[in-house]
A and B are shown apart, each in its own frame.
Chain A
Amino acid sequence: GQSLEQPSEVTAVEGAIVQINCTYQTSGFYGLSWYQQHDGGAPTFLSYNALDGLEETGRFSSFLSRSDSYGYLLLQELQMKDSASYFCAVRDGRGSTLGRLYFGRGTQLTVWP
């Protein structure tokens, strides 16, 4: 089966840097995605890694190590609006090419002024 582990909550102050880790177990790994969700709203796509290494998109970066079944999301220059839940999601590559996503339980990030 599939399982993903991420911390349940993280707190930081404005302007700081925070890293949210995700470890996964999957029988058919294809890629790791990160989504942001405010107050139960739409999961908003942030980043996707299919290959090892770092992907940078503005203040957000995501890293993947397939050999370690590990990834992280790095948020820099934190702002109050970054307070949200962050989910890692594994893209299943078995069988169908459509690729269902398996989500972690989410990390609640609280940014303090």
Chain B
Amino acid sequence: EPEVTQTPSHQVTQMGQEVILRCVPISNHLYFYWYRQILGQKVEFLVSFYNNEISEKSEIFDDQFSVERPDGSNFTLKIRSTKLEDSAMYFCASRGLADIQYFGAGTRLSVL
């Protein structure tokens, strides 16, 4: 069964460093999303992406965040200068024509 894959599974970084979280969406999907989940809290929307541009972003997705689809398969989330409060699970999701979002296993980001 097709699935969304994310790498790395766990990323540890120092505060102020840049991180790039990577996602390979399901191959025939066209709509892509990033969500995050702080430990013990609910899943929160960050950004949606379609046709090589951001469709919508939340208030969390400030200037420190960016997304990119550098080729036909990868979808990345970059945090330029990480803060302690960026520590969370980051989930990538993709969607095809059906209105169902499929999530990857996530990247646990730990900012020290």
Interaction A to B: yes
Which residues of A pack against B, CB within 8 Å? 30-31, 33, 35, 40-45, 48, 50, 87, 89, 91, 95-96, 98-106
Contact partners of B48 in chain A: CB under 8 A: 96, 98-100
Contact partners of A101 in chain B: CB under 8 A: 33, 35, 43, 45, 101
Pick the residue among B41, B45, B99, B103 that contacts A43 (CB under 8 A): B103
Q: List 13 A-B contacts (CB under 8 A).
A: A30-B99, A40-B39, A40-B106, A42-B103, A42-B106, A45-B100, A89-B43, A91-B99, A96-B55, A103-B42, A103-B43, A105-B41, A106-B42
CB distance from A87 to the nearest CB of B (A): 7
B56 contacts partner chain A, Cβ-Cβ < 8 Å = yes
Task: Please tell me the size bucket of the interface on B.
Answer: 20 to 34
Q: How far is the CA of A42 from the CA of B102 in the complex (A)?
A: 9
Contact partners of B89 in chain A: CB under 8 A: 40
B65 contacts partner chain A, Cβ-Cβ < 8 Å = no
> With A87-B42, A98-B55, A100-B48 in contact, do A31 and B106 touch (Cβ < 8 Å)?
no
Contact partners of B104 in chain A: CB under 8 A: 42
Residue of A33, A42, A91, A99 ringed by the most chain B CB atoms within 10 A:
A42
CB distance from B71 to the nearest CB of A (A): 21
Q: How far is the CA of A83 from the CA of B84 in the complex (A)?
A: 31
Contact partners of B105 in chain A: CB under 8 A: 41-42
Q: How far is the CA of A89 from the CA of B55 in the complex (A)?
A: 19
Contact partners of B44 in chain A: CB under 8 A: 103
- The answer to whether A48 touches B99 (Cβ under 8 A) is yes
**Who on chain A is nearest to B108 by CB?**
A40
Contact partners of A89 in chain B: CB under 8 A: 43
Contact partners of B55 in chain A: CB under 8 A: 96, 98
